[in-house]
Amino acid sequence: MRTYNPSTQWQPDVHAYLQHSLGRESFMRTSKALCLPPKKLAVRVNTMRIKPDEASHKLQRELKLQHAPTAPYSSLPYLLILPGQGPFDVDYANLCGPPGAREVVVNRAAGEAILKGADVYVPGVLAASANLAAGDLCAVSCALELPGSNWTGINRGQVLRPPSPGAKNVSGSEAPDGEGLPRKRSKKNAMPATVDRRNLHLGAGRLQMGRKEMFRAQQGLALKMEHRIYDIPACNGIMRGEIMMQALPSVVAAAALDPQPGMRVLDMCAAPGGKATLLAQLMGGQGTVIALDRTQPKIERIQSLAADLGLSDCVRAIRMDATMAAGPLGHLSSSLSLKYSQGDGFLGGKLQEGDPSSRQDSACEAGNAGSQGDFGTSCSTREEAKGGPIGTEVAHTSHDHSNEGPFEAESFDAVLLDPPCSALGIRPRLTHSWSLQQMLSLGRYQRQL
DSSP string, 90-115: --HHHHH-STTTSEEEE-HHHHHHHH
- pLDDT exceeds cutoff 80 at 335: no
**DSSP secondary structure letters along 22-89:** H-HHHHHHHHHHTTSPPSEEEEEE-TTTS-HHHHHHHHHHHHT-SS--B---TT-TTEEEEE-B----
Proportion of the chain above pLDDT 90, given as a percent: 63
C-alpha–C-alpha distance, residues 365 and 416, integer Å: 32
280/262 Cα distance (integer angstroms): 10
Predicted pLDDT of residue 389: 34
Average pLDDT for residues 408-435, to the nearest whole number? 91
Give the three-class secondary structure for 212: helix
pLDDT at position 341 over 80: no
The strand pairing partners of 245, in sequence order, are 43
Task: Report, as an integer, the average pLDDT of 70-74.
Answer: 96
Distance in angstroms between the alpha carbons of the first and the last residue of the chain:
49
pLDDT of the residue at 138 = 97
Mean pLDDT, rounded, of the chain: 80
Report whether pLDDT(280) > 50.
yes
- Of 384 and 27, the structure prediction assigns the larger pLDDT to 27
Residue count of the chain, please give it. 449
Report the range of poorest mean pLDDT among 264-268, 303-307, 432-436. 432-436
Let me know: does 431 contact 8? Beta carbons within 8 Å: yes
Q: What is the pLDDT of residues 234-254, one digit of tens each?
A: 888 899 999 999 999 999 999
In terms of pLDDT, which residue wins out, 275 or 371? 275
Whole-number CA gyration radius for the chain: 23
Closest CA to 213 of 222, 205, 204: 222
Above 90 in pLDDT, residue 394?
Answer: no
Q: What is the pLDDT at residue 234?
A: 85
Q: Which of 135-149, 323-337, 371-385 has the weakest average pLDDT?
A: 371-385
In this prediction, residue 428 carries a pLDDT of 95
Output DSSP code: residue 367.
G
Distance of CA 102 to the CA centre of its chain: 28
Give mean pLDDT, residues 120-140: 96
pLDDT at 361: 35
Question: pLDDT digits over 24-37, tens only?
Answer: 999 999 999 999 99
> What pLDDT, on the 0 to 100 scale, is given for residue 129?
95
CB atoms within 10 A of CB 421: 18
H-state helical runs in 258-411: 274-282, 296-308, 334-341, 356-359
* Model confidence at 44: pLDDT above 90: yes
Confidence band, pLDDT 50/70/90 cuts, at residue 166: low
Q: What is the pLDDT of residue 329?
A: 46
pLDDT band at 397 (very low <50, low <70, confident <90, very high): very low
279 within 8 A of 416, measured Cβ to Cβ: yes
Give which of 407, 401, 413 is closest to 264, Cα–Cα: 413
Between 246 and 399, residue with greater pLDDT: 246
Instruction: State the Cα angle at 400 between 275 and 342, rounded to 5°.
Output: 70
Buried b (16+ CB within 10 A) or exposed e, 269-290: bbbbbbbbbbbbbbbebebbbb
Nearest residue to 32 (alpha-carbon basis) of 355, 427, 349: 427
Sheet holding 288-293: strands in order across?
Answer: 315-319, 288-293, 264-267, 414-416
